[in-house]
């Protein structure tokens, strides 16, 4: 079939919106009609050429929500008409990691996905006979996409797509870092560094887990106000002396839980140092630049602090994204403040500009 898509042709150049060809879903694959899609830093990171593992031509986008249009052979868990959220982090439910409750790092399709192919090593997207690669296994800056069944979470048909798509990446990452990775206990003190999509999701997660005190650190006063709306009790404008401020607020001890959602290794270090001696747990969600390292004084670890990392918030996507969406539908998570701009597919490059200007939390593409 023919469809419109935003294609990365050359790194550092605007995406080119054009008509491309999409082939039928093969075994284990599903054809999805996209209804909404968030524009995320990872899309821009690849488009800019900064990502050393990037490839082109490719259709970018990975924060999609839409409707199943048709399914290929052997697809058992989805049918036409189902509402789905796309998962760059799939869940096959069979591999050594999927059957273990400690991780969400499914091994099933990693290698091919990283190269821009579907699990069978080919692409479904093309243009005049030339293959166009899939991005993060999703390619959701397009009217339709073909994805593996194991990379689609079936969600409630009640959920508006423009909100549901935010659960495809940053929001679930923040919520999951708190709920899964740290498993924050009620009555505790938490500090969240960064109030972008991931950090704000973490603040909401701390509130859902019943944290007593939720401190949010960011450079932007507007973003700190959004954090207050998600349940932050204390706001700090970030800087050199952030750790001292947190120690002062906590009787000199530090926080029970800290979360890093900036991608800056200096902030990661602050998050480790702001965790309480004896049992403070620092969870790192930000993605640092290639080659950067995190500096930790070992004494901080010997005296009981721990450091954990979290990919997609440890969320096993097919099982847990639908649960998070249900909690949103039940009124427990306020998603509307994250949706800053509604744009069309043709305006996707404007979505990148808004993101670079830190104008709002998420621009969402709506497909008509």
Ligand X SMILES: NC(=O)c1ccc[n+]([C@@H]2O[C@H](COP(=O)([O-])OP(=O)(O)OC[C@H]3O[C@@H](n4cnc5c(N)ncnc54)[C@H](O)[C@@H]3O)[C@@H](O)[C@H]2O)c1
Catalytic residue set = 40-42, 62-63, 92, 95, 98, 106, 110, 169, 362
Bond into 57 cis (ω within 30):
yes
* Residues of this chain, 173-212, that bind ligand X according to CB under 6 A: 173, 193-199
* Residues of this chain, 148-177, that bind ligand X according to CB under 6 A: 169-170, 173
Length of the chain: 368
CA dist., res. 25 & res. 27, Å (int): 7
Instruction: Assess 220 for contact with ligand X (CB under 6 A).
Output: yes
Q: Pick the closer one to Zn ion by CB: 108 or 214.
A: 108
Q: Considering only the stretches 46-54, 67-75, 160-168, 283-291, report the one whose residues sit in contact with ligand X under the rule CB under 6 A.
A: 283-291
Instruction: Assess 139 for contact with ligand X (CB under 6 A).
Output: no
Query: What minimum distance in Å lies between the beta carbon of 104 and Zn ion?
Result: 9
Q: Considering only the stretches 60-68, 90-98, 219-227, 246-254, report the one whose residues sit in contact with ligand X under the rule CB under 6 A.
A: 219-227
Query: What minimum distance in Å lies between the beta carbon of 97 and ligand X?
Result: 15
Q: Considering only the stretches 18-26, 103-111, 213-221, 354-362, report the one whose residues sit in contact with Zn ion under the rule CB under 5 A.
A: 103-111
Identify whether the C-beta of residue 172 lies closer than 8 Å to the C-beta of residue 321.
yes
Instruction: Assess 301 for contact with ligand X (CB under 6 A).
Output: no
Instruction: Assess 92 for contact with Zn ion (CB under 5 A).
Output: yes
Q: Select the residue interacting with ligand X from 135, 167, 259, 312 (CB under 6 A).
A: 312
Instruction: Assess 106 for contact with Zn ion (CB under 5 A).
Output: yes
Which of these, 236, 234, 242, lies nearest to 211 by C-alpha position?
Answer: 234
Q: Select the residue interacting with Zn ion from 39, 85, 142, 169 (CB under 5 A).
A: 169
348 binds, among Zn ion, ligand X, none (CB under 5 to 8 A by kind): none
CA dist., res. 89 & res. 106, Å (int): 7
CA dist., res. 79 & res. 70, Å (int): 7
Instruction: Assess 285 for contact with ligand X (CB under 6 A).
Output: yes
* Residues of this chain, 22-51, that bind ligand X according to CB under 6 A: 41
Q: Is 330 helix (H, G, I), strand (E, B) or coil?
A: coil
Task: Give 241's Cβ-side CA count (13 Å radius).
Answer: 4
- The CA angle 27-92-177, to the nearest 5 degrees, is 140
Identify whether the C-beta of residue 215 lies closer than 8 Å to the C-beta of residue 233.
yes
Instruction: Assess 138 for contact with Zn ion (CB under 5 A).
Output: no
Q: Pick the closer one to ligand X by CB: 113 or 262.
A: 262
Identify whether the C-beta of residue 184 lies closer than 8 Å to the C-beta of residue 275.
no
Q: Which two tokens stand for residue 361?
A: 């939390």
Instruction: Assess 61 for contact with ligand X (CB under 6 A).
Output: no
Q: Which two tokens stand for residue 11?
A: 């790194």
Instruction: Assess 271 for contact with ligand X (CB under 6 A).
Output: no
- What backbone phi and psi angles, to 5 degrees, belong to 18? -160, 170
Query: What minimum distance in Å lies between the beta carbon of 90 and Zn ion?
Result: 7
Instruction: Assess 311 for contact with ligand X (CB under 6 A).
Output: yes
Query: How many residues of this chain bind ligand X (CB under 6 A)?
Result: 28
Q: Decide the pairing of beta strands 16-22 and 2-8.
A: antiparallel
188 binds, among ligand X, Zn ion, none (CB under 5 to 8 A by kind): none
Packing angle, helices 221-229 and 197-208, rounded to 10: 30
Burial class (CB in 10 A: 0-12, 13-18, 19+), 131: middle
Identify whether the C-beta of residue 324 lies closer than 8 Å to the C-beta of residue 314.
no
Residues that bind ligand X (CB under 6 A): 41, 169-170, 173, 193-199, 217-220, 223, 238, 261-264, 267, 285-287, 310-312
Residues that bind Zn ion (CB under 5 A): 40, 42, 92, 95, 98, 106, 108, 169
């Amino acid at each position: 079939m023919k469809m419109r898509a935003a294609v990365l042709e050359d790194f550092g150049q605007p995406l080119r919106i054009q008509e491309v060809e999409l082939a039928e879903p093969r075994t284990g694959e599903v054809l999805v009609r996209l209804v909404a899609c968030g524009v995320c830093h990872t899309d821009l990171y690849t488009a800019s050429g900064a990502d050393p593992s990037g490839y082109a031509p490719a259709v970018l986008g990975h924060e999609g929500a839409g409707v199943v249009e048709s399914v290929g052979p052997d697809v058992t868990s989805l049918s036409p008409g189902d509402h789905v959220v796309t998962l760059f982090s799939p869940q096959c439910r069979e591999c050594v990691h999927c059957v273990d409750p400690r991780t969400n790092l499914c091994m099933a399709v990693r290698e091919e996905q990283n190269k821009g192919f579907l699990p069978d090593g080919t692409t479904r997207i093309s243009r005049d006979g030339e293959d166009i690669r899939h991005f993060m296994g999703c390619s959701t800056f397009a009217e339709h996409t073909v994805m593996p069944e194991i990379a689609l979470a079936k969600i409630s048909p009640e959920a508006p797509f423009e909100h549901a798509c935010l659960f495809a990446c940053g929001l679930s990452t923040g919520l999951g870092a708190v709920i899964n990775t740290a498993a924050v206990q009620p009555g505790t003190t938490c500090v969240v560094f960064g109030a972008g999509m991931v950090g704000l999701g973490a603040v909401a997660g701390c509130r859902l887990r019943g944290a007593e005190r939720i401190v949010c650190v960011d450079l932007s006063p507007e973003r700190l106000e959004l954090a207050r709306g998600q349940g932050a009790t204390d706001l700090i404008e970030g800087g050199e002396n952030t750790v001292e401020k947190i120690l002062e607020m906590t009787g000199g001890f530090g926080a029970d839980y800290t979360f890093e959602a900036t991608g800056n290794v200096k902030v990661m270090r602050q998050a480790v140092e702001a965790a309480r001696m004896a049992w403070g747990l620092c969870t790192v969600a930000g993605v640092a630049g290639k080659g950067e390292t995190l500096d930790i004084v070992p004494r901080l670890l010997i005296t009981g602090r721990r450091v954990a990392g979290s990919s997609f918030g440890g969320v096993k996507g097919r099982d847990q994204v639908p649960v998070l969406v249900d909690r949103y539908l039940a009124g427990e998570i306020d998603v509307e403040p994250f949706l800053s701009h509604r744009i069309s597919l043709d305006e996707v490059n404007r979505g990148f500009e808004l993101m670079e200007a830190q104008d709002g939390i998420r621009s969402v593409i709506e497909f008509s």
